[in-house]
Amino acid sequence: MVNQHLELTKYLVGKKMCDLFIYVEIAVDRVHHAFWKYFDKDHPRYTKHEKYEKVIPEFYKRLDNWMLEIKNMLPKDTIIVIASDHGIKPMKGAFVINQWLQDQGYLKLKEKVEKAGVDIKPSMIDWSSTIAWAWEGYYSRIFINLRNRDPYGIVKEEKYEDVIKRLKEDLLKITGPNGEKWNNIVHTPREIYDKVLGDPPDLMVYLDDLSWRPAGTIGWDSLYLPENDRGPDDAEHGWHGVFLIYDPEGTVEKGFKGEIDIENVYQKLLEITHL
């Protein structure tokens, strides 16, 4: 796949005149999720494997050579920016978030689920007794069953903030499988964003500083799963991504500059393009 992408990118760079060229390589994300436990010796399920432990280093070498080929095709004064939308870290396991909501009395199903790993469908939920439900992911999005907004909403608007507060407090108390304290983060979208549009969740939940993935399926005999409930996945998303600037004309000072807040990335791009 990466080789195909290289050939396509070389064609476009060589044949199409443009002032700005943006390319996204999804394989950088996929290689981490698929092979992190063979690469990171601190991974809780680290596995030594003569072949697989070489995949990530060899992949990055290929990308480096790849970028050199592209760079050599570009005008000498071209500014190159390399950025990622997230970092990567070991996935310690998955926490069954909808099952936890059931245990806490926030979510009620019409019938007990006997089989492990079942997706919740709207028809399975007893909406007349359900306060909240969750989507899974590398972080969880929780939705309140709000009256006058949702089809079968039961939470009155005047009780909404009380429910949010109580649910937030309960989520922050979630601990690890042996009772160890977790660094959980829970926010409403309006606490983070100046403007909230579309169909946002009511709460966003990050478990143990992103070390545990929220699992949305139900029917498990434990709230803690050793791996992702969706199939093989060795890694969680991390807070710190990559932001690199190569500027041959020296607009940007050389050297490592430390951390930069994501809110400042846009302004930095404006500076280097003189806009």
Same domain assignment for residues 134 and 34: no
- C-beta atoms surrounding 35 within 10 Å: 21
107 shares its domain with 176: yes
The pLDDT of residue 264 is 85
Q: Are residues 192 and 148 in the same domain?
A: yes
Rounded Cα distance, 220 and 213, in Å: 15
Q: Where are the beta strands (DSSP E) in the chain?
A: 80-83, 87-90, 93-96, 132-135, 140-144, 185-187, 203-206, 212-215, 224-225, 235-238, 243-246
Domain span at 259: 2-89+244-272
What is the Cα–Cα distance from 122 to 109, expressed in whole angstroms? 10
Asked whether residue 208 falls in the same domain as residue 117, the answer is: yes
Q: What is the pLDDT of residue 252?
A: 74
| 63 and 125 assigned to the same domain | no
Assess contact for 248 and 80: CB atoms under 8 A: no
> Smallest Cα–Cα separation from 218: which of 204, 229, 207, 234?
229
Are 68 and 149 found together in one domain? Answer: no
Q: Assess if residue 211 is contained within a domain.
A: yes
Do 81 and 188 sit in the same domain of this protein? no
| Residue 259 within a domain | yes
With respect to residue 238, please indicate whether it lies within any of the assigned structural domains.
no
Q: Is residue 179 part of a domain?
A: yes
The reply to whether 117 falls in a domain is: yes
Which one, of 227, 224, 257, 231, lies nearest residue 242 by Cα?
Answer: 257
Within a domain: 224? yes
Both 42 and 83 in one domain: the answer is: yes
Which pairing describes strands 93-96 and 132-135: parallel, antiparallel, or unpaired? unpaired
H, E, C per residue of 116-173? CCECCCHHHECHHHCCEEEECCCCEEEEECECCCCCCCCECHHHHHHHHHHHHHHHHC
> Coil, strand or helix: which one is 68?
helix
Collapsing DSSP to helix, strand or coil, 7 comes out as helix
Q: What pLDDT does 275 receive?
A: 54
Asked if residue 167 lies in contact with residue 152, where contact means CB atoms within 8 angstroms, the answer is: no
SS3 call for 57: helix
Query: Do residues 121 and 76 both lie within one domain?
Result: no
pLDDT tens per residue, range 213-228: 999 999 999 999 998 8
Whole-prediction pTM: 0.89
Separation of alpha carbons 228 and 217, rounded Å = 10
Tell me, yes or no, whether 102 and 226 share the same domain: yes
Domain count of the fold of the chain: 2
d(CA 213, CA 198): 25
Length of the chain: 275
When computed from its CA atoms, the radius of gyration of the chain, rounded to whole angstroms, is 23
- Indicate if 161 and 204 belong to the same structural domain: yes
The per-residue pLDDT for 268 is 83
For residue 114, the one-letter residue type is E
| 20 falls within a domain | yes
Q: From first to last of the 275 residues of the chain, give the pLDDT tens digit.
A: 999 999 999 999 988 888 889 999 999 999 999 999 999 999 999 999 999 999 999 999 999 999 999 999 999 989 999 999 899 999 999 999 999 999 999 999 999 999 999 999 999 999 999 999 999 999 999 999 999 999 999 999 999 999 999 999 999 999 999 999 999 999 999 999 999 999 999 999 999 999 999 999 999 999 999 988 988 899 999 999 999 998 888 777 777 888 888 888 888 888 887 65
- Name the pairing type of β-strands 212-215 and 93-96: parallel
CA–CA gap between residue 147 and residue 258 (Å, rounded): 47
- Do residue 104 and residue 166 come from a single domain? yes
pLDDT value of position 33: 95
